[in-house]
Amino acid sequence: MGNKNKTISFRVNEDAFEALQEIAAERDISLSAVFRDYVDQLVEHDGQVEVVPEADLEARTSEDNDEVSFPPTVEVPKRFIREHERLELEAEHLREQLDEYKGYVNELQDRLEDEEDEVLLLDELDDESDSFQLR
What is the pLDDT at residue 103? 94
- 56 & 92 share domain: no
| 18 and 60 both lie in a single domain | yes
> Domain for residue 71, yes or no?
no
Question: Which pLDDT score, from 0 to 100, does residue 12 have?
Answer: 82
Residue at a domain's end among 22, 38, 64: 64
pTM of structure: 0.34
Residue 134 lies in a domain: no
Amino acid in the structure at residue 21 = Q
CA angle 6, 70, 48 (to 5 degrees): 40
> In this predicted structure, what is the pLDDT of residue 35?
80
Q: Is residue 89 part of a domain?
A: yes
Same-domain pairing of 60 and 84: no
Phi-psi region of 46 (alpha: psi -120 to 50; beta: other; left: phi over 0): left
Q: What is the pLDDT of residue 23?
A: 83
DSSP designation for 121: P
Q: How many domains does the chain have?
A: 2
Rounded CA separation 26/37 (Å):
14
Do 60 and 82 belong to one domain? no
pLDDT of residue 87: 94
d(CA 109, CA 32): 64
Q: Is residue 104 part of a domain?
A: yes
Q: What sign does the CA torsion over 57, 58, 62, 68 have?
A: positive
Domain-embedded: residue 70? no
Per-residue pLDDT of the chain (135 residues; tens, 9 = 90+): 567 777 777 788 898 888 888 888 888 888 888 888 878 888 888 777 776 777 776 666 655 555 556 666 778 888 988 999 999 999 999 999 999 999 999 998 888 787 766 666 777 666 655 555 555
CB contact at 8 A, 128 and 100? no
Closest CA to 133 of 101, 89, 106, 90: 101
Same domain for 60 and 85: no
Quick check: is 46 in a domain?
A: yes
> In terms of residue numbers, what domain contains 117?
78-127
**What pLDDT is recorded for position 85?**
92
